[in-house]
Structure 1
Amino acid sequence: MRKTVNLEVNGKKQALEIEANTLLLDLLRMEVGLTGTKEGCGEGICGSCTVMVGNELVRSCLTLAMQVDGKSVTTIEGLADGTTLHPLQRKFLEYGAVQCGFCSPGLIITAKALLESNPDPSEAEVRDAIRGNFCRCTGYVKIIEAILAAAAELRSGANA
């Protein structure tokens, strides 16, 4: 049975006809064409599929698209301003926090949520915030450094 879901994705209103059992991850990737959000485990464990619904982090591989009807969704593609990367995206590149890149979208979205609620986190607070995002390549040191550097830049107002 097809239903209409109305949502705002990265600031753009969408009205899409979908199957009632469509996952948010599939809606974003297949219906909207935003492939930055990744499916890692399909069980909500790895964090690769993390997006923001309103101000809440959600695992899009576990969320039915109909659950976000009428809500705002932010994906990794929604952070950049045209070709200008968000400070988190830029710092991930500058600090070498991106290797294969598969986990990066979920980590960056998670970090964005953290910095919105706590603009000056400690290293321990960053570690706690990203504990549900698995990275098999970097060992997290560069990721944490990148998040702390982006936080400092955002606090200073440079390129924010």
Structure 2
Amino acid sequence: MSAYDILTGIQLCMAVAMIAYGFYFRRARECSVLFFVGPGLLVAFWAAAVLYYYTEYPFLTILCFLMAFFLGLGLGLWFKQGLPELTYSRETHRLRCPPQRLALPVNIGFCLLFAAFQASVYHLPFLTHSWFFNEILGFAPGLATGLFWGRGLAVLLDIPMRGQQVYKDI
């Protein structure tokens, strides 16, 4: 079995899982923290598989990925506009998520981004020998993954506890 077939299988499984997550979060849900973090883990694993398979200059690509990841992480934490407000229940240890209408388009965008690398290299295999392609290969998934993780972290860090008492100074 060739590595290209394995990568294609990974990408198809990830695309199905990301689209399923997009449909799942279109309605208000109650889920565990691990289930909420699942799409972020899938995106990180998918980015690692794409980088591993297509990179010709691994140190350059990983450096560009890390620079873009931390840039995206910082931007995701900084821009908190339009983030959904989650609540955490201590009794059930579950998150209450409001409907996330943008979950499906964002997840489809990730699928198209990662599939674009595979389609471009399949039709133009000489691209893998280009420094510019390797920089883009590291930068684009790194920025997208960083933004995804940054926004998710910003949502998780801003959770008010249900049943939490707020004490005010008298």
- Greater percentage in strand: 1
| TM band (smaller chain) | under 0.3
- Structure with more contact order per residue of length (Cα contacts < 8 Å, sep ≥ 6): 2
Work out which of the two has the higher radius of gyration on C-alpha atoms and give 1 or 2: 2
TM-score by length of 2: 0.25
